[in-house]
Amino acid sequence: MINIAIDGPGGAGKSSVAKAVASRLGIIYVDTGALYRTVGYYVRKKNVDPHDADGVAALLPEINLEIKFEDGCQWVYLNGENLGDAIRTPEMSMYASAVSAIPAVRAFLLDAQRNIASKNSVIMDGRDIGTVILPNADVKIFMFASPEARARRRFDELQAKGQNVKFEDVLSEMNERDSNDRNRATAPAVPAEDAVMFDNSDVDLEGSIKYVIDLVLKKCGDKL
């Protein structure tokens, strides 16, 4: 069994790369951001300020999250309902970032993430996978790119989904979210000491996939 941790800021291509690597290596891709997005979605639905730590913590007992894998895709069910792409909007990105700074939220989601990785070979992406969730991961990668390159990718992705957004707004929201995630007190989005740093500003998707697969094969190919 192997555990691969991919951390880094939004728009670095972590999820596209991890999804492809998982399918080529026959392991499970776990998108941990979806969990924070789902908590953010519930907080929004209940009209609670996502920065209000006590207000958000009080809602957690009402939340039942299930992570299901269907046809290689991960779906998060909130109290029995599959939220689908409703958690993928720019507004939900900001809600996810805000609630993710609350220690009670991180504690609430910790076991679910560790459980999946203890029972399956996984490639898990997020912000604190190599530092907090899976400190003993076989491979840790911190994937990043310039803010402009990342905003461009996120802009293209949102446009392809039919969401009407402006590049400048995507860039400024991305910078704000990065700063929140990097500077928070609990589990900040920083590289683990033993992470391999991968700047893919000038590397395309296929090149990034190849980079990760080569690294995994080199570090722990014998475990696959």
Of 189, 198, 205, 211, whose CA–CA distance to 156 is shortest?
205
Of 221, 28, 208, 12, whose CA–CA distance to 117 is shortest?
28
Residue 48 DSSP class: -
Contact range with ligand DC by CB under 6 A, out of 70-78, 120-128, 142-150, 205-213 = 120-128
What minimum distance in Å lies between the beta carbon of 126 and ligand DC? 2
Residue 10 touching ligand DC (CB under 6 A): yes
What minimum distance in Å lies between the beta carbon of 37 and ligand DC? 6
Beta bridge partners of 76: 67
Rg (CA), the chain: 17
Residue 131 touching ligand DC (CB under 6 A): no
What minimum distance in Å lies between the beta carbon of 87 and ligand DC? 8
Of 189, 214, 29, whose CA–CA distance to 124 is shortest?
29
Map the footprint of ligand DC across residues 66-105, applying CB under 6 A.
93, 96-97, 100
Residue 177 touching ligand DC (CB under 6 A): yes
What minimum distance in Å lies between the beta carbon of 178 and ligand DC? 8
Q: Give the number of residues in contact with ligand DC, rule: CB under 6 A.
A: 15
Report the residue number, 100 or 208, with the smaller CB distance to ligand DC: 100
Using CB under 6 A, which of 36, 108, 198, 211 touches ligand DC?
A: 36
Residue 154 touching ligand DC (CB under 6 A): no
Residue 173 touching ligand DC (CB under 6 A): no
**C-alpha distance from residue 50 to each of 41, 43, 44, 105, 140 (Å):** 10, 6, 7, 11, 30
Backbone φ and ψ of 93, nearest 5°: -60, -45
Neighbouring C-beta atoms of residue 104, cutoff 10 Å: 16
Please, what's the largest Cα pairwise distance for the chain?
50
Give the containing element (helix H, strand E) for 60. none
Using CB under 6 A, which of 3, 32, 74, 131 touches ligand DC?
A: 32
Report the residue number, 49 or 214, with the smaller CB distance to ligand DC: 49
Contact range with ligand DC by CB under 6 A, out of 28-36, 140-148, 167-175, 191-199 = 28-36
**C-alpha distance from residue 181 to each of 123, 130, 184, 186 (Å):** 21, 15, 6, 9
Using CB under 6 A, which of 33, 56, 141, 198 touches ligand DC?
A: 33
Question: Which chain residues interact with ligand DC by CB under 6 A?
Answer: 10, 32-33, 36-37, 93, 96-97, 100, 126-129, 177, 181
